[in-house]
Amino acid sequence: MQKEVKKLPKSEYELTITVPVEIIQKEYDYVLTQVAEGIEVSGFRKGKAPKEMVEAKVGKERINQEVLEKILPYSLMEALKEENLVPITDPKIAVSQFELGKDLVYKATITVMPEIELDDYRKVKVTMSEPKKVGEKEIEESVNKLYERWKLIQDQTKKETGITTPEGVATEKAIYTPEGEKISLEKKEPNDEFAKALGAADLVDLKNKVKEEMEIQEKQNVEKEFENSVVEETLKKVKVEVPEALVDEELNRMIINFNHYLSQFGLKFEDYLAREKKTIEQLRQDWRPQAEKDVKIELMLRKIAELEKIDVSPEEVTAQFPSEHKHEDHTPEKKEQEENYVRHALRQAKALGRLKEIATK
């Protein structure tokens, strides 16, 4: 087997592989023999008909297809092994010559993990802001919004469950709290009855709960802002040619997730495109910069994990599954795939955590 290897931009390689005619003929004969064993030809016992007759009945196209399906993966695997190349996406195959009596010639384009330069990432320093204090004004505004939404629901409930007079006028049907206390819908501002309906002891208790929730949210916002700043500053130190194949995969993932998001609201992806007056290709083009950035972050964290010697133990992976029976209906291959995904996600999360630690020192 002969091969020519050409390095392309963005971590791609093009391999031109030539498989000798002798191997092609041998594989063709083998496949023909295997096919003949299951073919019945009039006048011959099953599996005993001449190969020429089997070939005529089955058709050379089917045999050629099976020959290719056997030779292409094997020959490509051997070539990649000799060149020490490990693809990270499925190869693109283009056959330029394939017929009996001649060598098989094809090109395989593969994408490998890109080289990543990440200098001085330990010099990245980011200061986390202090969470803003939640004031009485913000609490009042939040409680008032809750009240307005609650009142709309109660008014709707009144319409749906109310009793009508002979003249068709809706009358109020009593609404009670979980404790059995009657709620008056005539109140124009938040009160204890409203607070109890939301599970609080009274209005003061509700305001305390709202304040606590707002403080938690503010703290989370500050932490997320800090995390984003750490990532953005570290990205400035990354040098990498982002492979197009990985960007395309990320775009596919983004579209699948967005489609799922829309479906939760009973919306269709096709209707969204029509409303936005875009084709799916235009949408992919709009989202490409974000997809490239997401891939770059993924590669950066992978490099951080490598440099910081971050690993994930089998126990950490197992802990992510509810029980030992999580995989019981899966094949060993499916189970390994799931565990590898979890292991990778945990490693990336640890790498991000390490970056945040470094940025605060």
How many angstroms separate the CA atoms of 11 and 20, rounded? 29
Half-sphere exposure of 3 (CA within 13 A, CB side): 19
For the record, the structure tokens of 85 come out as 């190349």
Low-confidence ranges of the chain (pLDDT < 70): 40-41, 43-49, 158-187, 323-330
How many angstroms separate the CA atoms of 207 and 210, rounded? 5
For the record, the structure tokens of 340 come out as 């590898």
Mean pLDDT of the chain: 87
The dihedrals phi and psi of 5, each to the nearest 5 degrees, come to -115, 130
Q: What's the pLDDT score for residue 172?
A: 47
Q: What's the pLDDT score for residue 132?
A: 93
Half-sphere exposure of 104 (CA within 13 A, CB side): 25
Q: What's the pLDDT score for residue 57?
A: 74
Check if the beta carbon of residue 94 is closer than 8 Å to that of residue 106. Answer: yes
Whole-angstrom CA distances from 86 to 12, 49, 79, 266 are: 11, 44, 11, 42
Residue 278: DSSP 8-state: -
Counting beta carbons within 10 angstroms of the beta carbon of residue 286, is it exposed (0 to 12), middle (13 to 18) or buried (19 or more)? exposed
Q: What's the pLDDT score for residue 185?
A: 47
Q: What's the pLDDT score for residue 45?
A: 63
H/E run at residue 224: helix 203-235
Domains and CATH numbers, the chain: 2-112 (3.30.70.1050), 115-239 (no CATH), 240-360 (no CATH)
For the record, the structure tokens of 144 come out as 């008032």
* Residue 350 neighbours by CB under 8 Å, 6+ apart: 305, 310, 312
How many angstroms separate the CA atoms of 64 and 257, rounded? 39
- pTM of structure: 0.75
Counting beta carbons within 10 angstroms of the beta carbon of residue 116, is it exposed (0 to 12), middle (13 to 18) or buried (19 or more)? middle
Q: What is the CA radius of gyration of the chain?
A: 32
Check if the beta carbon of residue 201 is closer than 8 Å to that of residue 195. Answer: yes
* C-beta neighbour count of 177 within 10 angstroms: 16
Maximum pairwise Cα distance, the chain: 96
For the record, the structure tokens of 146 come out as 């809750």
Span 284-320, pLDDT tens digits: 999 999 999 999 999 999 999 999 999 999 999 988 8
Check if the beta carbon of residue 288 is closer than 8 Å to that of residue 226. Answer: no
* C-beta neighbour count of 320 within 10 angstroms: 15
Q: What's the pLDDT score for residue 124?
A: 94
Q: What's the pLDDT score for residue 167?
A: 44
The dihedrals phi and psi of 94, each to the nearest 5 degrees, come to -135, 110
